Amino acid sequence: MNRTIYDLIGLSAGVMFILALKGLSHPRTARRGNLLGALGATVATLAVFFYVSDPAEKNGSLPLNNLGWILGAIAFGVVVGVPAARKVQMTAMPQLVALFNGVGGGAAALVAIVEYLKLGDSATTAEVIATVFTVLVGCTSFSGSIVTFLKLQELMTTRPVIFPGGRFVIAGTLAGTIASAVWVITALGTTPLLVLAGLSLLFGVLFVLPVGGADVPIVISLLNAFTGLTVAAGGYVLDATLLIIAGTLVGASGTILTRLMAEAMGRSLFGTLFGAFTAKPQDSAGAAETRPVKSGTPDDVAILLNYARRVVIVPGFGLAVAQAQHTVRELADLLTAKGIDVAYGIHPVAGRMPGHMNVLLAEANVPYEQLSEMEEVNPTFPQTDVALIIGANDVVNPAAKTTPGCPIYGMPILDVAQAGNVIFLKRSMRPGFAGIENELLFDSKTTLLFGDAKASLTKVVSALKAL
């Protein structure tokens, strides 16, 4: 296969990536778009093994060097990736995405380092700059994604990690990283590059530590954009047009998604990027769980639902934990059969990543027409008789509007407090991912149904059928 054919195959793979992104823009075409993107990646990977370059080209001719190592790495990735994709629970999907982001950024950084060592003194200034960028951003993305994973997995605190003089440490690390980048460009050599990699890894950790649980979805999207940019820069170093196309698509789409997520949470993009320098310690959540609440039974909830004219179901992370999406679909169908207007209120960051609830409900074949975005459903809450909240907390917490300085202040929320009755399905009085109490839990019109969401909904469905 000559270069022309190879480039044409790469171009076709790039077109597949673009069409994949287009497909992912709508739930009805998301599956097809995902498959198309996977096909493009497969074609691009296989084409490399059949390309034979002209000996006169800069990178010489193939066959590939270290073919055994390459095939071994591919086999290892398949052995790890396929079971992970098949067995990972929806609750763990954000963690998996964070890890994939990190692996992508780290791989791009390692490839850039190896290629830099290979080029040696023959490397142009542009290639050195691209290498520096790839190593800096790739290592930052890798270590930052690892910290994000630890927060999502709750292997460390989900609250912002702030320490005395932290902003000065972070600023100093950033300054050292930039200085190392300049050192690599001016002096070349292996030592400056390794120093740059080490400082970038440290900065990635310090960059994410001050991020609280409420902002983790934004960080996931931001690190995804970082990974895309590293791949694009690595493509320039390797003279691989397809990597430039794929990396640019990921970087651009990730940046757009980050901006949209920041807007959905009432955050400025500047604040997300530089929050590490301005973060302040926050008070821990109080012991409000000792206050009295109105607890109900499945029969109580069934009666409220049975005599409602409109019900809005608000899904959250707890729905994913309980794997109750099929049961909630059964409940909604039962209410609809009784002539009750049913809708799903979907917050942009419900769950722990963008689109988490949409994917979960699609798994249960919930009609897309019943899914209402925040801007669409909020004006209807004053006419809603019952708001049924299943495992959500932060996205319906009035503190976002009433408590300046709290982690979610300024974040747009679903205005469930305006409904006639509010029902919370919760395992316990534990606060949401942001770590703050929800005063709505103690409101006189709020009824709490404690227990596993799936088991509770099953009992509610049985009680409804008996009415």
Active-site residue set: 394
Residue 330's alpha-carbon distances to 58, 113, 361, 370, 457, in angstroms, are 63, 54, 12, 14, 9
d(CA 12, CA 16): 6
User: Which tokens is 204 given?
Assistant: 């990635």
List the beta strands (DSSP E) in 165-273.
Answer: none
d(CA 342, CA 339): 9
- Identify whether the C-beta of residue 138 lies closer than 8 Å to the C-beta of residue 230: yes
| Local structure of 150: helix, strand or coil | helix
Contacts of 155 (CB under 8 A, 6+ apart): none
d(CA 327, CA 337): 15
Q: How many residues does the chain have?
A: 467
User: Which tokens is 29 given?
Assistant: 């075409």
- Identify whether the C-beta of residue 217 lies closer than 8 Å to the C-beta of residue 261: yes
Single-letter amino acid code for the residue at 245? I
Residue 449's alpha-carbon distances to 299, 421, 435, in angstroms, are 10, 13, 21
Helices (H) and strands (E) in the chain, counts: 17, 6
